Amino acid sequence: MSVISIADDINEYAHFLTIGLIAEIYYGEINLGNTEEHVAYEWVSLNELPENLCEPSKKIIDNYLNKTIYKDKSYIKK
């Protein structure tokens, strides 16, 4: 497993540090646990991503595709 992205996620209520990881090999079942935030997971290629991704996921994928680990303030909405 490798770190592929580090991003600041800032909204009007909080400031989060989001770390994106990539695994070369995966086996087993994804367990969503008791969460109301995520309702489903799917395996798709980077060319078939849904448009309704959450902002932190978009940042991780954008950084990965652009070979950038960290982008300072590029996503902060004013």
Give the model confidence (pLDDT) of 48-67 as tens digits.
Answer: 888 888 888 888 898 899 99
22 alpha carbon, distance to own chain's centre: 10
Band of pLDDT at residue 75, cut at 50, 70 and 90: very low
The pLDDT score that the predictor gives to residue 72 is 63
Give the model confidence (pLDDT) of 23-55 as tens digits.
Answer: 888 888 877 777 776 667 777 888 888 888 888
The pLDDT score that the predictor gives to residue 50 is 86
Domain spans in the chain, listed from the N-terminal domain onward: 2-65
Element (H, E) at 8: strand 2-10
